[in-house]
Amino acid sequence: MKSTFLYLLFPIIGITFLQGCGTKGNSMNTEIPTGEIPVKIKQISVSEGNLEIDATGQFTTDDETMLSFKTGGIISQVLVSEGDVIRKGQLLATLDLTEINTAVNQARLGYEKAKRDYERVQRLLADSVATVEQAQNSKTALDIAAESLEAARFNQDYSQIRAISNGNVLKKFVNPGQQIAPGSPVFQTNGSGKGSWKLKVSLSDKEWAMVKEGDKVNISTPVEPEKLYTGKVKRKSKVADPTTGTYQVEIEFTEKAPDYLASGMFGTAKVLSETSQQTWFVPYESILDANSGKGFVFVTNDGKTAQKVSVKIGKIYPDKVQITEGLEGYSKLIVSGSAYLTDLSPISIQD
């Protein structure tokens, strides 16, 4: 009986001992300073400079065109694919012309009948058998028939798509056998001329407001990321994209564009806006909870109390971080000891 009691007692003592050790270890690791928290500070000052806005987008050309059929119907042929080189006047696609040809034939027959009637009335008028009114009505009917025939032939001509210039097929939206409505896009093409390349980028509403047409831009490509090409802001969209809420800005080259550019290739732009901006530069370690261009820092004005303020992060450099908003009115930034601070924590400044 005694041996059984001791056998049960030893595990309980062991567990109690381990729990005591674990608690002691945890209390040592989570110990938080009380009273005044020692910190180190850095004097900061505002800098004035022109705003630089980084953006990415895709290259395209000024002569991009959406090609479509004027009339609707069933697509009979699609003769090119995306990426194909095309020549001016080349046939690209056609509709099934059965219905359209029938309409042309009907209009032609109507015109021929109206012409016969008109000629007959003119002869009768010469013999004083027909009246002037009958002659005028027959002439009106002939004119209407001629206009109807011209419209039918126009629709027949635009039931096929031909290239309007030398260039490339960027996108193909349809396939043979597909029914299409009048005016629906069939191809997106561009011209083969050089020097008309532009970069389309999307900016937030605040960035868009700071950019002006004519602002200088440095352009780079993934092919030559270290080489900068000069450009300028050509056009600002006045309407936001309904999906993203961003505004499109078009940038054109002010020097010869590289020959290797292709429509849809990504590019990077640095807009050198003439708008001035206040900025601060702070050490990495002073920023807390950075996410999506925002974060927090601790500052002090009286040297006795820490204040937690929200800041907007700009560019990140190898040895510092740019702050574009949030430090107005502050000159002392806490750079050490921030991990133990909360808003309005008492502090003591260490040398």
Of 242, 276, 310, the position where a domain reaches its end is 276
- CATH number for position 247: 2.40.30.170
Q: Does 222 map to a domain?
A: yes
Q: Quote the domain boundaries for residue 227.
A: 54-63+197-276
Q: Are residues 153 and 231 in the same domain?
A: no
Residues 211 and 237 in one domain: yes
Would 22 be classed as within a structural domain?
Answer: no
d(CA 323, CA 179): 56
**C-beta atoms surrounding 66 within 10 Å:** 14
Q: Which pLDDT does position 34 carry in this prediction? A: 60
Query: What's the confidence (pLDDT) of residue 64?
Result: 84
Note down pLDDT in tens along the chain; length 351 residues. 444 433 333 343 343 333 344 433 444 444 555 689 999 999 998 887 777 888 999 998 888 889 999 888 999 999 999 989 999 999 999 999 898 899 999 999 999 999 999 999 999 988 888 898 998 999 999 999 999 999 999 988 889 999 998 888 989 999 999 999 999 999 999 876 554 789 999 999 888 998 999 999 999 999 999 999 999 999 999 999 888 999 999 999 999 999 888 888 999 999 998 777 788 999 989 999 888 889 999 999 999 999 999 999 988 888 899 898 999 999 899 999 888 899 999 999 997
Same domain, 212 and 266: yes
Question: Can you name the residues that pair with 47 across neighbouring β-strands?
Answer: 279
Please name the helix (run of DSSP H) or strand (run of DSSP E) that holds residue 298, with its range, or none. strand 294-299
Is the Cα dihedral 91, 92, 96, 101 positive or negative? negative
> Does some domain include residue 2?
no
Question: In terms of domains, do 131 and 43 share one?
Answer: no
Last residue of a domain, one of 192, 211, 246: 192
On the CB side of 75, how many CA atoms lie within 13 Å of its CA?
Answer: 23
Cα–Cα distances in angstroms (integers) from residue 102 to residues 68, 94, 97, 111, 186, in the given order: 22, 16, 8, 14, 24
Calpha distance 343→303 (Å, rounded): 14
Statement to judge: residues 188 and 202 lie in one domain: no
Q: Are residues 123 and 77 in the same domain?
A: no
What CATH number is attached to the domain comprising 107?
A: 1.10.287.470
**77, 187: one domain:** yes
DSSP line for 264-275: T-EEEEEEEEEE
The pLDDT, as a whole number, for residue 192 is 67
Q: Kind and range of the H or E element at 50?
A: strand 47-61
Q: Are residues 132 and 166 located together in one domain of the fold?
A: no
d(CA 24, CA 20): 6
Angstrom distance (rounded) from CA 41 to CA 307: 13
User: How many C-beta neighbours within 10 Å does residue 58 have?
Assistant: 14
Q: Is-contact 215 52, C-beta < 8 A?
A: no
CB-CB neighbours of 169 under 10 Å: 19
> Is residue 26 a part of any domain in this protein?
no
In a domain, 31, yes or no: no
pLDDT score recorded for residue 16: 39
Q: What's the rounded Cα separation, in Å, for the pair 93 and 95?
A: 7
Kindly state whether residues 221 and 255 are assigned to the same domain: yes
Residue 169 lies in a domain: yes
| Pairwise CA distance, residues 53 & 207, whole Å | 7
Cβ distance 173 to 187 under 8 Å? yes
3-class SS of residue 222: coil
- pLDDT given at position 93: 95
Q: Tell me which DSSP letter residue 16 carries.
A: H
Distances (CA, A) of 296 to 197, 268, 327: 42, 29, 10
- How many domains does the chain divide into? 4
Position 351, amino acid? D
| Residue 246 and residue 202 share a domain | yes
- Global confidence as pTM: 0.56
Residue 223 CA to residue 172 CA, distance in Å, equals: 26
pLDDT at residue 324, as a whole number: 87
CA pair distance 38, 345, nearest whole angstrom: 11
Pair (253, 340) in one structural domain: no
Do residues 310 and 345 share a domain?
Answer: yes
Q: Which two tokens stand for residue 179?
A: 């029914």
**Please, what is the Cα angle at 253 between 249 and 258, to 5 degrees?**
125
Q: Which of 276, 300, 323 is the last residue of a domain?
A: 276
Q: What is the C-alpha to C-alpha distance for residues 32 and 21, in angstroms, rounded to an integer? A: 19
* Residue 4 in domain: no
> What are φ and ψ of residue 132, in 5° steps?
-65, -35
